[in-house]
Chains A and B, each alone.
Chain A
């Protein structure tokens, strides 16, 4: 949360997380190099630099797939949620791997030309209308640029400096980079390799990621009960006891907003389901020490006014809530972020 910044806020979990990621990548890259060198056809001229280039590219692509899979998987299974916690470190590592891949490629293919390597990259192949000979390097270059923007702006500071809206829009660019990378591989190595492992793994990965995002969107819609506002505008969401203590029920209003209705400490409060940090689903979190705690990275908000406890100053929208006839009613119009909205007391409710 945005109060005093450090370059990286390390803790034991983050250290372990990063070590596991780095060890996994080291094993992947080493195995890739050994397997590729070992299974080369006798006549095939593939140098160690070329194999390393592919290994780093494959590792970056693999990691990007993991990053993109974690979000929807966490929506489908709560056990995946801890992986969300340090996903941004994976993003930065992914960019570094892609940068090494690009550096080795430029060195090997353009490094010995008289031209500036970037000029040579764009000017050496101009067959933009051909499939087999498409200058796939340019797709990789654009994807690398996008990944660079995401990596350099991944710190929480940048969300505050750029403004939440722009920051989140920029980070949607990861999907564009992903699409470009899929085509970079399909129009690049797949065109020159007879081995089917390359197209099979890229197509499989793309189907998996697209399928997971589709499935999580559909399941999210089914899970969040869409409710109708009653005549006077209030939404009946049921008895307070139907919400678990310190947990929430998420509802989707007729206009499409998601509201998390929390029951805690004999009271009920309603806030936006969307965390101010990275849009984490607050309604899937719980009330800890009197604060709604986001399941993704642990940002906290007070249920009664949607504000982070001091010294932090993040805010989310709140909603008016009341209990009448033993039922909880929420008004679907969001109050401005940080507006106090008195909780409805369960004990006082007439049933």
Chain B
């Protein structure tokens, strides 16, 4: 990755967190309880604990505020998603492991010999 691209990525991340911080301040004062009425009257400790979540999840929270909640999916759908993830993960990681072992650099000759047997450089 070029320095320009990496800089753009880091700036985007910083900007995302900055906006998240602003939203987080609103969230711990008013937002947390307006989204979930059961949070009304919760203590300062709980509000502060929601801050990191609001900083990271602010786009989703905003979308929930604007669009509301979709219908909950059937439990079966989640189980299927769980199975699909493993079906995808196992072959992919297995392939990655195999490649990483096959293409692993060989240790220097001295290190591959039994301890105590050190090769002397010729001509020295």
Q: Which residues on A are within 8 Å of B, measured CB to CB?
A: 2-8, 115-116, 118-123, 126, 131-132, 148-149, 151-153, 155, 157-158, 160-166, 168-169, 172, 175-176, 178-179, 182-183, 186-187, 190-191, 194, 199, 202-203, 206, 210, 213-214, 217, 255-258, 272-274, 279, 313, 337
A-B contact pairs, 14 of them (CB 8 A): A4-B39, A6-B46, A118-B6, A122-B1, A122-B5, A157-B36, A161-B61, A172-B78, A172-B85, A179-B93, A187-B96, A210-B90, A214-B86, A255-B76
What is the CB-to-nearest-CB distance from B111 to chain A, in angstroms, rounded to a whole number? 6
In the assembled complex, B57 has its CB within 8 A of some CB on chain A: yes
Nearest chain-A residue to B102 (Cβ)? A131
The answer to whether A163 touches B76 (Cβ under 8 A) is: no
In the complex where A175-B85, A183-B96 touch, is A119 in contact with B6 (Cβ < 8 A)?
Answer: yes
Query: Which residues of B have CB within 8 Å of A178?
Result: 89
User: In whole angstroms, how far apart are the Cα atoms of A258 and B76 in the complex?
Assistant: 8
Q: Which residues on B are within 8 Å of A, measured CB to CB?
A: 1-3, 5-7, 9-10, 13, 32, 35-36, 38-39, 41-43, 45-46, 48-50, 52-53, 55-57, 60-61, 64, 69-70, 72-76, 78-79, 81-83, 85-86, 89-90, 92-93, 96-97, 99-101, 103-105, 107, 111-112
The answer to whether B38 touches A118 (Cβ under 8 A) is: no
Query: Which residues of B have CB within 8 Å of A183?
Result: 93, 96-97, 100
What is the CB-to-nearest-CB distance from A132 to chain B, in angstroms, rounded to a whole number? 5
What is the CB-to-nearest-CB distance from B101 to chain A, in angstroms, rounded to a whole number? 7
User: In whole angstroms, how far apart are the Cα atoms of A279 and B82 in the complex?
Assistant: 12
The answer to whether B97 touches A162 (Cβ under 8 A) is: no
The answer to whether A157 touches B32 (Cβ under 8 A) is: yes
A interface secondary structure, majority: helix
What is the CB-to-nearest-CB distance from B124 to chain A, in angstroms, rounded to a whole number? 18
Query: Which residues of B have CB within 8 Å of A258?
Result: 75
The answer to whether A165 touches B6 (Cβ under 8 A) is: no
User: In whole angstroms, how far apart are the Cα atoms of A258 and B90 in the complex?
Assistant: 26
Query: Which residues of A have CB within 8 Å of B32?
Result: 157, 161
The answer to whether A119 touches B45 (Cβ under 8 A) is: no
Nearest chain-A residue to B57 (Cβ)? A153
The 8 A-B pairs of least Cβ separation, nearest first, read A274-B75, A131-B103, A122-B6, A7-B45, A123-B6, A186-B100, A152-B53, A152-B52
